[in-house]
Chain A
Amino acid sequence: EAGVVQSPRYKIIEKKQPVAFWCNPISGHNTLYWYLQNLGQGPELLIRYENEEAVDDSQLPKDRFSAERLKGVDSTLKIQPAELGDSAVYLCASSQALGGASDTQYFGPGTRLTVL
């Protein structure tokens, strides 16, 4: 079974440019998460989707960040315009969220963004 797929793996852009990241979750996983991981830090949740609905976007900087999950499968995270401080790894994770304690969040490899 394929894991969580993210692309691109690496992205270098100049500040003020737009950038987009794509995530394909594990088949059948209804919950999708975007996390931000700064160097030497743990991941921090940006937004969580249950199917198509964003159920927790309280940590998403809405002035420049946006996300969508059309049809409840793939998701795209966008930054416009990018700032120097946005340089980080953007992780996507998915889970089945069936309501049991064994639900696991499976992470993709991340997209490493460098803003120059």
Chain B
Amino acid sequence: QKEVEQDPGPLSVPEGAIVSLNCTYSNSAFQYFMWYRQYSRKGPELLMYTYSSGNKEDGRFTAQVDKSSKYISLFIRDSQPSDSATYLCAMSRANFGNEKLTFGTGTRLTIIP
């Protein structure tokens, strides 16, 4: 069993819809949780990070972490065609600047105009 599980999709939603992306994990030592966005033939770029449990909002994006359930989510409001990409969750045990990141498989998202 992988340490981080993520539904690979693909997921297609109409423009303007709310998108929910999720990951589960098994390693209780994970403390830092991140969401990366990866466009086709590009490297991943960091969207959001959170430390421990709780919510964090940044514009149309909201990240949630529930450590008791070992479950993290990313919500995208008012989705746009430019949000079409693969979304990767990632987590680490410590300060993620110099700590190994464990990634999910990524969810491929398409926003239909």
Q: How far is the CB of B10 from chain A (nearest CB, A)?
A: 11
Contacting residue for A101 out of B6, B45, B96, B106, CB 8 A:
B96
CB–CB B42/A99 < 8 A: no
Asked whether A101 and B105 contact (CB < 8 A) given A50-B98, A56-B100, the answer is no
The answer to whether A104 and B98 have CB atoms under 8 Å apart is: no
Q: Which residue of A lies closest to B108 (CB)?
A: A40
Q: Is the CB of A107 within 8 A of B45?
A: yes
Q: Is B103 within 8 A of A31, CB to CB? A: no
The size class of the interface chain A forms with chain B is 20 to 34
Contact B97 A96 (CB under 8 A): yes
Contact B46 A109 (CB under 8 A): no
B43–A110 CB distance below 8 A? yes
Confirm or deny: A98 has a beta carbon within 8 angstroms of a beta carbon on chain B: yes
Question: What is the distance, in angstroms, from A102's C-beta to the closest C-beta of chain B?
Answer: 8
Q: Chain B 23-66, CB within 8 Å of chain A: the 1/0 string? A: 00000000010001000011111100101000000000000000
Q: Is the interface of B mostly helix, strand, loop or mixed?
A: loop
Query: Chain A interface secondary structure, helix, strand, loop or mixed?
Result: loop
Instruction: Find out whether the CB atom of A105 lies under 8 angstroms from the CB atom of B101.
Output: yes
Which residue of chain A has the shortest Cβ distance to B92 in the bound complex?
Answer: A105
Nearest B residue to A50, CB-CB = B98
Is B44's CB under 8 angstroms from A43's CB?
Answer: yes
Shortest distance from the beta carbon of A106 to any chain B beta carbon, whole Å: 8
The answer, among A91, A103, A108, A109, for a CB contact under 8 Å with B97, is A103
Once the chains bind, are B97 and A104 in contact (CB under 8 Å)? yes
The residue among A43, A100, A104 with the most chain B CB atoms within 10 A of its own CB is A43
- Tell me if A42 and B97 are in contact (CB < 8 A): no
Residues of A within 8 A of B97 (CB): 31, 95-105
* Interface, chain B (partner A; CB < 8 A): 4, 6, 8, 32, 36, 41-46, 49, 51, 88, 90, 95-98, 100-101, 103-106
Binding site for B on A (CB under 8 A): 4, 31, 40-45, 48, 50, 56, 91, 93, 95-110, 112
Contacts A102-B97, A103-B97 supplied; 7 other A-B pairs, CB < 8 Å = A48-B100, A91-B44, A97-B97, A97-B98, A101-B32, A106-B46, A107-B45
